[in-house]
Amino acid sequence: MSYITYPHFGPMTLLFKSIFQEMEVPEERIINPHTPNKRTLDIGSKHSPEWMCTPFKLSLGSLIECIDRGANHVFQIGGIGTCRASCYGPVQRVITEELGYKVKYTNIDYHKPMDMLRDLQSVSNNFNTWQALGALRKIWVKNHSLDLVEHLINFYRGVELEKGETDRVAKEVHNKLFSIHRVKEIKEYHKLIPKMFEDQVQIDEYADPLKIGIIGEIYVVLEPMLHLNLYRRLNDLGVICRNTVSLKKFTDLPAKLNPFVKEYYKIYREKARPYMQQYAGGDGQESLGATILLREMGWDGMVHVWPFSCMPELSAQTIIPSISEDYGMPVLPLIVDEQTGEAGFQTRLEAFIDMLKIKRESERNGQPVEKISWDTFNYD
């Protein structure tokens, strides 16, 4: 009897959970990771190599916790990658083996969608390829909606009049989203989501908030434990923000197959080409491109979060000052690891925002404040 588990990955954990649900794996055989805490990170960093990147440590910690709860079949990334991300599976296998656990690893190579499908099929309730594809389809549709909800939260929470209103609506939407199982219904509901937020959350239209984009390594950008609730902190300071990376990069199969659709990350990479000619692993090139793109759309600043010792983001970080200079776009680099303290984080964010405000005042020359709404903020 195999008990399936998978590492924690920010809000996307819900998504992985529903993959196995759709594959009709019995409920008791899926062991879902808890929201990670300090202890998870401690367990992870105790058993990982010292110089390994922080996402490795956190995911190892959450895996070990799950294995302790009885899991014996792990889904993790593997295959041939560019940076260290693709050896998470193999290295974690060696580490858990040494700790004395008998665990089977299924390493998923996200470069090969068909193999990914076959791996998932092998744990499903005797699904044929077509059924498995149907189940996966629900996932990427849901991923689309989840991304939209995240963007909406980060917008409305910054300018809401009554604190906590956005979170309430978001929770409602999440619950509803994961109770629907038909693709058609999800798609219909997807169209209603912005309207729900608009109706239920009252915003200060003339609040004149700063607009900040978040770039960086995908795991850190999506995981609140590592970025220390960066979005909420920014929102509390009266800033609206938006993350520029998404799991869609890996899961959006229709966009990959359709030659007429240009995926978001390809747009970023094209923008970054004059500065970094070739893809150098992770999300480095996208970080550069997003900085340029958002500047051209009139955003105020960027926050670049990445884990300590991440190789691609380090390359990006080295080039970012020249982009900053050429386009006049302020970028705040924040490097996180298992020892990052909250106070220092907060201080740096506050200082950054104060400086952005001063910069905006000097650039504006007394022009009137624009009225803000979701439509002016959204750029998809």
Partner 1 sequence: MSKRFDNHKLKRRKKRVGFPRGLLYYYFKDMWETFFVKLGAEVILSSPTNKITKERGVLETLDDECYSTKLYHGHVLDLADKDLDYLFVPRFASRKKREVGCPKFVALADILKYTKKDLPPIIGPYYSTSREKHGFWRLTKIIFEIGFKFTKNPLRIIRAAILSLRAHRRAQDELIISEETLKKWERSEILLNDAPINDNGEEVLKVALVGHNYVLNDDYASLGVRQKLQKLGVDLVTSQQMPRNLIERQLLRLSMIDFGLEISEPEKLPLKELEKYLVGRNDYLYFEFEHEIVGTAMHYLENQKIDGILMLVNFICGPVSVSMEYAKHFAKKIQAETPLAILTLDAHTGDAGFQTRLEAFCDILRMKKNKGFVPEVIEKESDILLKNWS
Q: Shortest gap between Cβ of 111 and partner 1 (angstroms)?
A: 9
Binding window for partner 1 (CB under 8 A); candidates: 64-72, 90-98, 184-192, 209-217:
90-98
Sheet holding 210-216, edge to edge: 239-243, 210-216, 301-307, 331-336
The number of beta carbons lying within 10 Å of the beta carbon of residue 49 is: 11
| Residue 40 vs 287, nearer CB to partner 1 | 287
Q: Which stretch binds partner 1 (CB under 8 A): 79-87, 162-170, 340-348, 355-363?
A: 79-87
Cross-sheet strand order for the sheet of 30-31: 30-31, 4-5, 73-77, 104-108
- 95 scored as a contact of partner 1 (CB under 8 A): yes
Q: How far is the CB of 360 from partner 1 (least distance, A)?
A: 26
Beta bridge partners of 107: 76
CA torsion angle for 169, 173, 175, 178 (degrees, to 10)? -170
Q: Which of 29, 32, 91, 189 is the binder for partner 1 (CB under 8 A)?
A: 91
Alpha helix ranges (H) inside 160-283: 165-177, 183-200, 218-222, 224-227, 230-236, 248-251, 253-257, 264-272
Rg of the chain in Å (alpha carbons):
21
Q: In terms of CB distance, is 52 or 146 closer to partner 1?
A: 52
Pick between residue 48 and residue 166 the one whose CB is nearest to partner 1.
48
Q: Which stretch binds partner 1 (CB under 8 A): 101-109, 182-190, 235-243, 357-365?
A: 101-109
Nearest approach in angstroms of CB 358 to partner 1 is 27
Q: Report the residue number, 71 or 201, with the smaller CB distance to partner 1.
A: 71
Establish if 82 lies at the interface with partner 1 (CB under 8 A).
yes
Amino acid letter, residue 54? T
Q: Is 312 in the site for partner 1 (CB under 8 A)?
A: yes
Cβ 37 to partner 1, closest distance in Å?
A: 25
Nearer to partner 1, 107 or 235 (CB): 107
Angstrom distances, CA of residue 302 to CA of 7, 157, 367: 28, 18, 23
- Do β-strands 73-77 and 239-243 pair in parallel, antiparallel, or remain unpaired? unpaired
Among 7, 44, 55, 89, binds partner 1 (CB under 8 A): 89
Could you tell me the CA-to-CA distances from 51 to 61, 202, 309 in Å, in that order?
A: 16, 47, 7
C-beta of 84 vs 151, nearer to partner 1: 84
DSSP secondary structure string, 53-119?
-HHHHHHHHHHHHHHHTT--EEEEE-SS-SSGGGGHHHHHHHHHHHTT---EEEEE-TT-HHHHHHH
Is residue 114 near partner 1 by the rule CB under 8 A? no
44 contacts partner 1 (rule: CB under 8 A): no
- Residue 2 as a binder of partner 1 (CB under 8 A): the answer is no
Stretch that binds partner 1, among 60-68, 83-91, 123-131, 208-216 (CB under 8 A): 83-91
Nearer to partner 1, 74 or 136 (CB): 74
Instruction: Give the number of other CB atoms < 10 A from CB of residue 220.
Output: 28
Q: What are phi and psi of 199, to 5 degrees?
A: -70, -40
Among 29, 101, 105, 131, binds partner 1 (CB under 8 A): 105
Contact between 196 and partner 1 per CB under 8 A: no
Q: Is 332 in the site for partner 1 (CB under 8 A)?
A: no
Residue 210 or 272 having the CB closest to partner 1: 272
User: Per-residue x/- marks for partner 1, 245-284, CB under 8 A?
Assistant: ------------------------------xxxxxxxx-x
243 binds partner 1 (CB under 8 A): no
CB-count exposure of residue 197 (10 Å: 0-12, 13-18, 19+) = buried
Tell me which amino acid residue 287 is. S
The residue ranges that bind partner 1 (CB under 8 A) are 48-53, 78-84, 86-87, 89-91, 93-95, 97-98, 104-109, 115, 275-282, 284, 308-309, 311-312, 314-319, 322, 335
